Amino acid sequence: METRERLIASMQELLWENGYAGTSPRAVQKLAGTRQSSMYHFFDGKSELAVAAEYRMSEELKAQITERLASGNSARDKVAAFLSIDENVLRGCRLGRLVQDAEVASNDALREPIQEMFEWIQASIGEVLHRAHAAGELPADLDVEALSTAVLALRQGAYVLARGAQSPEPFRRAVIGILQLIPSTQATG
Say if 8 falls within a structural domain: no
The domain of 61 spans 54-179
Say if 14 falls within a structural domain: no
Residues 6+ apart with CB under 8 A from 13: 31
- How many angstroms separate the CA atoms of 109 and 53, rounded? 12
pLDDT digits (tens, 9 = 90+) for 120-147: 999 999 999 999 999 999 999 999 999 9
CB–CB of 42/132 below 8 Å?
Answer: no
- How many angstroms separate the CA atoms of 19 and 14, rounded? 7
Q: What is the CATH number of the domain that holds 155?
A: 1.10.357.10
Number of domains in the chain: 1
- How many angstroms separate the CA atoms of 36 and 39, rounded? 5
pLDDT digits (tens, 9 = 90+) for 21-40: 999 999 999 999 998 888 99
DSSP per-residue codes, 31-73 = HHT--HHHHHHH-SSHHHHHHHHHHHHHHHHHHHHHHHHHSSS
Confidence of residue 185 (pLDDT cuts 50, 70, 90): low
Say if 86 falls within a structural domain: yes
Say if 90 falls within a structural domain: yes
CB–CB of 83/155 below 8 Å?
Answer: yes
